[in-house]
Structure 1
Amino acid sequence: MDNQPRVTAIITSRERFSYAEESLRSFYEHTELPCRVVYVDVNSPQDRWERLKRLGDELGFTAIRLNKYVSPNCARNVGLRFAESEYVVFLDNDVDYTPGWLEPLVACADKEKAAMVGPLYLHGPLDEQVVHMAGGDMEFSGVWGTREFKQTQRYFMKHITEVPEKEMRRQQCDIIEFHCALVRREIFDRVGGMDEGLLTTREHLDFSQRVLDAGGTVWFEPESVITYRMPPPFALTDLPYFMLRWSDAWTEDTLRHFANKYGIRPSYVERVTKNRKGRQWLLFEQIKQYLPDSLGESGTKVVKRSFQKVEPLLNRAVVEVLTFRDEPLQWQVHHGSADRTRAKVPAS
């Protein structure tokens, strides 16, 4: 263990498979600090899995293939079984990186004794310099069972030039996101693993709160910069997982679980409508490119309204098909031939 890297990167699917290879190449291009890499594949198409194995041989990472679609928190828990390092950094498979992004996160954790550290999160292509989050806040208020909950992503969707210079400094915050989150591994001994009752959303809020409740600290480190590459585009083979991942059923279960866990008013589950609109917006942005120009703006609006009425029924049907036969979770492991940092392989 003396010569093992201090960090294990656990990369999981956020909502699609088709950006994974590009994201992995960006990771290796911009990561200089020695780091063990574990990629958890959640039942992507077989040809994509074969490409991941070849890429693992080329770049030197361990690829773990699960036998079914699972939530990101479930995939993170599987990845954690392969982490023996001082730190883990959770990453989504649709992230682009900037040079030296990892070192500032580790430096912050070392100096501040932080339990969690997050970077400056951008949104979209790097050259657009749009902020996704520069640290975040959350607040609970009221009486248990009817509590209100509010969370804020600082400077969300602002251009980076709109963020005051005084805010672009290392500082404590309440939340960071799993697009990129460095976590001191020993904190899991105090708070446990990821809550697999959270299937679609609230995962970062829950884990950050558990860390804070355990006396750990959460930090924003703007010297580290990554960007989240939100779809579209999708590959057609992305869509079943995307539809399940953001389904009304998974979202409703998630919000009800989160509300019960933190004593939030039951009507919090009404947020499912907001998630549905987000899902429909992303899907329609993909569909729009195939509509004939002759439809014009008014015709496109008619198609969009029709799509919004039909899509929830389609979503429900997709979920029923995908969850009709729920098999026990299993996985296979492929150690890239260039991986010199492999950990013991836990049993599935």
Structure 2
Amino acid sequence: MEETMKPPKVTLVVGPRERFSYTQTSLESIYANTDYPFDLVFVDVCSPASVQTYLQEKSQEQSFSLLTTDHYISPNQARNVGLRYVLDHTDSDYVVFIENDVIVKRGWLTQLVNCAEETNATVVGPLTCIGNPAHQVIHNAGGKSYIKTEVKDGQTRRRIKQSAYLTGRAIADVSDQLQRTQCDYVEFHCMLVRRDIFSTIGLLDEGMLATREHIDFCFMVTQAGGHIYCEREAIVTTDTLGLASNKAGLMAWFGQLKLPDFKWSDLPYFMVRWSDAWDRASLDHLRQKWNLAEDKYFTKRYAGLGSRRHELLIKPVVRFLTLGKGNAWLEKRLIALERPLNHFWFNRYARRLRQAQFSKTV
């Protein structure tokens, strides 16, 4: 009698994106809509008391591992907390990194595993949608990202070339393009990774604090000889509390004249997570690590420091105050006022962190 092959083992590592208030909805979605067996590790980075209580109760109910930190840490640092646990305590064949604001469509994990097994892919990402209603507007369907070496006037420059597939398109309009596709990168909103790659490349780079982590990681995988796919039949949605990435979604948001969709308890982490300091440090680290020229790719992003805060905090306030009309002057003034506030907030976080670390060494 032939021995039945056991399905590959999978552990999900759930970590923070930018806020905590969607944690329950996201986690309930995973348990309700995942038909492939999995273990789960949740990395909680100082969420509010109500969320901590929910996670403690849910971890007992579903028997998942709940790991906590005593201060805010970056998404890559949180992923490494979960990854170390998986590598040390499980024999999982795959790790799935998924952020705490993602909701999933039934069949998502089965499709990711099937793609990895059938293609021998190292990394597989789903079709990631954005906004509300869920699973309708595409945020990421994979993309191109590579380093091109150019020689000009006797000088050699290394530059990132990057483009995304199908971003902003409605799923209903591109149904003929929703097949698995080999690509250069997928994003950390949700990403399945073959366990054995970490014995080659090590843990995630914690110098990537806030932005471009997925580009850096996929460069590392490709450099190690790995292959990356987007399985477009697996569908998840991120940022369901934020803006949709198409014009219709933006107009619907503005038409509602809503203030920022945050709870007060979300703001402290959000301000650190998207701080100018972490954004700038991430871009500097990426450029230096891969010996890249400070070209338009970087100058554009340096000029756009704080854009996530402006998008989700300032612009909704301006639209609300102007009854949906918008006002460029007011927006610029609020940005000018918010930036030093963000610096103050981050410096306060950094000072408290240094004090806590010093206390541990005494």
Shorter-chain TM-score category? 0.7 to 0.9
Instruction: Work out the CA distance in 1 between the residues paired with 2:217 and 2:304.
Output: 22
- Are residues 1:259 and 2:287 paired? yes
- Are residues 1:273 and 2:303 paired? yes
Shift of 1:289: 7.7
Matching residue's letter, 1:182: L
- Are residues 1:228 and 2:238 paired? yes
Instruction: Work out the CA distance in 1 between the residues paired with 2:241 and 2:329.
Output: 23
Moved more, 309-318 or 140-149: 140-149
- Are residues 1:154 and 2:165 paired? yes
- Are residues 1:90 and 2:97 paired? yes
Residue of 344, 347, 350 corresponding to 1:320:
347
Residue of 53, 56, 59 corresponding to 1:56:
59
Is the Cα contact below 8 Å between 1:145 and 1:264 reproduced in 2? no
What CA deviation, in whole Å up to 9, does each residue of 1:110-156 have, x standing for no partner? 11111111111111124561011111111222359732212222111
- Provide the residue aligned with 1:180 in structure 2: 190
How has the CA–CA distance of structure 1 residues 177 and 298 changed in structure 2, closer, same or farther, with 3 Å as cutoff?
closer
- Are residues 1:201 and 2:201 paired? no
Is the Cα contact below 8 Å between 2:319 and 2:325 reproduced in 1? no
Instruction: Work out the CA distance in 2 between the residues paired with 1:248 and 1:309.
Output: 13
Matching residue's letter, 2:189: H
Equivalences for 1:55-74 in 2 at 5 Å? 55-74=58-77
Shift of 1:287: 3.3
Instruction: Work out the CA distance in 2 between the residues paired with 1:243 and 1:125.
Output: 23
- Provide the residue aligned with 1:25 in structure 2: 28
Equivalences for 1:324-335 in 2 at 5 Å? 324-326=351-353, 327-328=356-357
Moved more, 215-224 or 145-154: 145-154
Is the Cα contact below 8 Å between 2:40 and 2:65 reproduced in 1? yes
How has the CA–CA distance of structure 1 residues 266 and 34 changed in structure 2, closer, same or farther, with 3 Å as cutoff?
same
How has the CA–CA distance of structure 1 residues 31 and 164 changed in structure 2, closer, same or farther, with 3 Å as cutoff?
closer
Question: Whose RCO is larger (CA < 8 A, sep 6+)?
Answer: 1
- Provide the residue aligned with 1:284 in structure 2: 314
Is the Cα contact below 8 Å between 2:134 and 2:237 reproduced in 1? no
Instruction: Work out the CA distance in 1 between the residues paired with 2:240 and 2:276.
Output: 20
How has the CA–CA distance of structure 1 residues 189 and 128 changed in structure 2, closer, same or farther, with 3 Å as cutoff?
closer
Shift of 1:299: 7.6
Shift of 1:298: 6.2
- Provide the residue aligned with 1:335 in structure 2: none
What CA deviation, in whole Å up to 9, does each residue of 1:18-46 have, x standing for no partner? 10111000000001211001110111123
Instruction: Work out the CA distance in 2 between the residues paired with 1:328 and 1:225.
Output: 41
Is the Cα contact below 8 Å between 1:146 and 1:266 reproduced in 2? no
Equivalences for 1:87-126 in 2 at 5 Å? 87-126=94-133
Moved more, 275-284 or 31-40: 275-284
Residue of 271, 275, 278 corresponding to 1:250:
278
Could you list the runs of 5+ residues in structure 1 that have no partner in the other structure?
330-348
Is the Cα contact below 8 Å between 1:176 and 1:204 reproduced in 2? yes
Identity of aligned residues (%): 39
Equivalences for 1:5-44 in 2 at 5 Å? 6-44=9-47
Is the Cα contact below 8 Å between 1:126 and 1:227 reproduced in 2? no
- Are residues 1:140 and 2:147 paired? yes
- Provide the residue aligned with 2:136 in structure 1: 129
What CA deviation, in whole Å up to 9, does each residue of 1:193-222 have, x standing for no partner? 100000001111111111111111111111
Shift of 1:161: 3.1
Shift of 1:290: 6.3
Shift of 1:241: 0.9
User: Partner of 1:310: helix, strand, or coil?
Assistant: helix
Q: Could you state the TM-score of these two structures normalised by the residue count of structure 1?
A: 0.86
User: Partner of 2:67: helix, strand, or coil?
Assistant: strand
Matching residue's letter, 2:170: H
Matching residue's letter, 1:249: A
Instruction: Work out the CA distance in 1 between the residues paired with 2:57 and 2:330.
Output: 42
Is the Cα contact below 8 Å between 1:118 and 1:221 reproduced in 2? yes
Instruction: Work out the CA distance in 2 between the residues paired with 1:3 and 1:117.
Output: 20
Moved more, 103-112 or 45-54: 45-54
Shift of 1:104: 0.9
- Provide the residue aligned with 2:84 in structure 1: 81
Shift of 1:64: 1.1
